[in-house]
Structure 1
């Protein structure tokens, strides 16, 4: 999946324009994939407690989502230096935060490798699943390459890359292994309730019901069957979900890329200015 050698002389960053990541992360379906990742991450009780006990999630969930998106954009399209600084900030924050198990009273760090690994795998799986299912052209080999590329992002948040799944098969084996630890406890219900009905100005409630609720419901529907079982809320038939994902992808991809990328914080446009026009992520087409 190569877009050519950048014409600029700037730092191409940790992934570079030749990576699968550089191309995929320019796709607008990444937003729906990010919401799916939140749903999935909330099913790990220890991980979701670390979030809810260290932040006012209901007041700042939008901020958390945007900060996550900014982190992904920074490590993908920023220079190596800015990516490393972003990773250092995340590691420092994790090192200072603790959570408490309400049943046992155990205090534990939110930066435990097992918890970081769950969050990482839920994100990588969601990005791959939603984009491919929505029609983004990616071969199996490219999907495996994407997972392997993200040993870099795993390292940035404090994981040992040797312990991180680096292919679709390794991801599947990981999820099979961790499933007994998952449940939809009170914290997961809090996340589910927020994602369906995020607080907003009364005048914006109709827009929330018309637009955002559809995004949240589609992200939820794209979860694996075991997640639907844990949440106890059914989803449409898989074929229906796939049609909706493909239709949504077609609509969002019809919006000119320059318009989408002009929204703050403009990571892609800054990368193109630094490296040259050949750094532009290629639009979806035949598998590259």
Structure 2
């Protein structure tokens, strides 16, 4: 596996701007309200790879007991990698790579012996994330040209290499990304672990008081339904959710409506602290 880069390789200005910077397409997509729907779609898509899903099932401590904690950590990791300084991003990368190191097993349905940090498994997770965030953003109405879509996929090669993928294997255009997913489809299946994971995503356990006295359940149900409805048709068929209540056109209209509603909320409330801190940081000149 490729070593994680050192901060000594970067200037102070590069550290301040992070790996992507405010002019990147990654900032535009990852700060948009559609990001949350794309994140749910990515988790459901990732679970369809039997071996990758087995790694989560076997080695994620929060998989069965604290699904909310795992979802939150994943979102924080992506946000830190996107909007944090390079120092913050590399710290997060090293923490995740350390959690992967030395963990191996055999996936029962395929008989494959694997390590959690196998490059092809990391690549699958990466490509599901990039495809989900990009496709959901475009369906939600984020203004993106085809050239900007390609630029986003190319930018995200950095994220894949940081986590341990081989650079030459990572799709760098939207067409290459689509071709990768097509090649991988024959190996996908809904295993018992995937079925359990999808239930956690679509209907996560919540304390009774949370369900009764907060809007968490309906809010999550909206995100989860949109995430499932925006999956590719072939993925919905695998899950036995051919439409999940919505046609493709209706799903697109629904995610657009969700985005417009969210955009009506002031940015200081809508955006995460990591995003707000990044905007403030890059607006300040670098100290001499």
- TM-score, normalised via structure 2 length: 0.88
Hey, what does 1:213 align to over in structure 2?
221
Query: What is the deviation of 1:277?
Result: 6.8
Cα shift at 1:124: 0.1
Shift of 1:61: 1.6
Aligned equivalents of 2:279 and 2:255: distance in 1? 29
Is 1:260 matched up with 2:270? yes
Q: What is the TM-score of this pair, normalised by structure 1?
A: 0.88
Unaligned runs of 5+ residues in structure 1 are 1-7, 279-288
Corresponding residue number in structure 1 for 2:143: 137
**Post-superposition CA distance 1:135-163 (Å, at most 9, x none):** 11111100100000011100110111211
- Deviation of 1:205 after TM superposition, in Å, equals 3.0
In the other structure, the counterpart of 2:52 is: 47
Structure-1 separation of matches of 2:153 and 2:14: 28
1:198 aligned to 196, 199, 204, which one? 204
Moved more, 232-241 or 144-153: 232-241
Tell me, in whole angstroms, the C-alpha distance in 1 between the residues paired with 2:35 and 2:84.
18
Distance 1:104 1:193 in 2: 22
1:43-71 per-residue CA deviation (whole Å, 9 max, x = no partner) reads 00000110011124132221111111111
Q: Equivalent residue for 1:110?
A: 116
CA distance in 1, matches of 2:173, 2:110: 36
1:82-104: per-residue Cα shift (whole Å, max 9, x none)? 21222222222222222322246
3-state SS, counterpart of residue 183 of structure 2: helix
| Separation in structure 2 between the aligned mates of residue 83 and residue 275 of structure 1, nearest angstrom | 15
1:140-159 aligned at under 5 Å gives the runs: 140-159=146-165
* Higher RCO structure (Cα 8 Å, ≥6 apart): 1
* Offset of residue 209 of structure 1: 4.7
Match of 2:24 in 1: 19
8 Å Cα contact 1:9/1:275 also seen in 2: no
Q: Is the 8 A contact 1:14 1:79 kept in 2?
A: yes
Preserved CA contact (<8 Å) 1:99 1:108: yes
SS in 2 for 1:187: helix
Could you say which residue in structure 2 is the equivalent of 1:283? none
Which residue, 259, 269, 272 being the options, matches 2:279? 272
Aligned length: 268
Local SS of the residue matching 2:114: strand
* Aligned twin of 1:188: 194
RMSD: 1.9
Query: Which deviations, in whole Å up to 9, do the C-alpha atoms of 1:91-134 show, x marking residues without a partner?
Result: 22222222322246654201111110100000000000111101
Give the deviation of 1:221 after TM superposition.
Answer: 0.5
- 1:284 aligns with none
Classify 1:260/1:116 alpha carbon distance in 2 versus 1 (closer, same or farther; 3 Å).
same
